[in-house]
Amino acid sequence: MTNETQPAPATGELDTFGERGQRALEAAAAGLYVFPLHPGTKNMPAVKDWENEATRDPEKIMQWWASGPTTWPSRPAPHGSWSSTSTR
């Protein structure tokens, strides 16, 4: 998992990648590692090697959700699985 932590982006930057991207940033700011899931699924990682690509880095999260604002945020869970992060 990527270990970097950086300050959250300015509010105006959040508008470009939707509510789910904002939820991913909130989870990362709370110390959770996140990665995107394919749109319309809650069990299909949208990145290869998700176990190692999961991050708390706001810039990486913004890149992921800017290119796919409808993807669900997810976080690694114990035993090599993941947990979907609901937007509601």
Owning domain of residue 37: 11-84
Residue 70 exposure: Cα atoms within 13 Å on the Cβ side: 4
pTM of the model: 0.68
Query: Phi and psi at residue 72, in whole multiples of 5°?
Result: -85, 140
- How many domains in the chain? 1
The predicted structure's pLDDT at residue 79: 45
The predicted structure's pLDDT at residue 67: 78
The predicted structure's pLDDT at residue 25: 92
Residues of the chain with pLDDT under 70: 1-16, 69-70, 76-88
Residue 2 lies in a domain: no
Rounded Cα–Cα distance for residues 61 and 55 (Å): 7
Residue 71 lies in a domain: yes
Residue 68 lies in a domain: yes
